[in-house]
Structure 1
Amino acid sequence: MKIRKGDNVKVLSGKDRGKVGKVLRVFSKKRKALVEGINLIKRHTRPQRQGEKGQRITMPAAIDLSNLALVCPKCSKATRVGFKIRNGNKFRICKKCQSEV
């Protein structure tokens, strides 16, 4: 996967276009990711105990990986991700500044 947990990403399309957030979780089989503060939805919950009220909980929903671009930690730009193999190890690189991500 080109985008991993903990990466900073920029949203390329959708209602949150242009926003930057941190990846909380990646669902590789679905090709989606949960991003902090992005694609927020409201879920309505019923009261669980007597005397308790129902609530509206705001939580992030998964967003497709094709709508995300990695933000390079060195050049701070949204970029595509490439790979290089050095000494038998595979590294992700920034396509704009060629630095290791």
Structure 2
Amino acid sequence: MATAKIKKGDKVVVLAGKDKGKTGEVVRSLPKENKVVVSGINVATRHIKPTQASPEGGKVTKEAPLHVSNVALADPKSGAATRVRFEERDGKKVRVAVKSGELING
């Protein structure tokens, strides 16, 4: 299987959907489903029944997963969307931003 280009902790830019143009940090990566959960993006409201744990019940907002094709890594220099390239530096395989050539941490 190919190496994931977007990982947990990465800053990403949303390319499509209701939150197009917004940026956020990847909270969870779901590689088997090709999806990512981004903080503050694609927020959905869910109604929950009262339970022992939450006797009030009510509305809960949480981030829903986005398909990985709808997000792009934010360039470390400019913050704009960029593609990712893999290079070998000092004998290690690292991720590099195509736009600026900057090394992506992680």
Give the alignment's TM-score, normalised by structure 2: 0.88
Letter in 2 for 1:98: G
Aligned partner of 1:43 in structure 2 is 46
**C-alpha distance after superposition, 1:43-87 (max 9, x if no partner):** 1111114xx332100000000000001002223221001110123
Letter in 1 for 2:83: R
Give the alignment's TM-score, normalised by structure 1: 0.92
Aligned partner of 2:83 in structure 1 is 80
Root mean square deviation of aligned Cα: 1.1
4+ runs of 1 displaced by more than 4 Å? none
Q: Structure 1: how far apart are the matches of 2:79 and 2:24? A: 13
Q: Structure 1: how far apart are the matches of 2:37 and 2:49? A: 24
Aligned partner of 1:28 in structure 2 is 31
Unaligned runs of 5+ in 1: none
Superposed counterparts of 1:47-86, under 5 Å: 47-49=50-52, 52-86=55-89
Q: Structure 2: how far apart are the matches of 1:26 and 1:99? A: 23
Unaligned runs of 5+ in 2: none
Aligned partner of 1:15 in structure 2 is 18
Letter in 1 for 2:84: V
Question: Percent of aligned positions with the same letter in both sequences?
Answer: 44
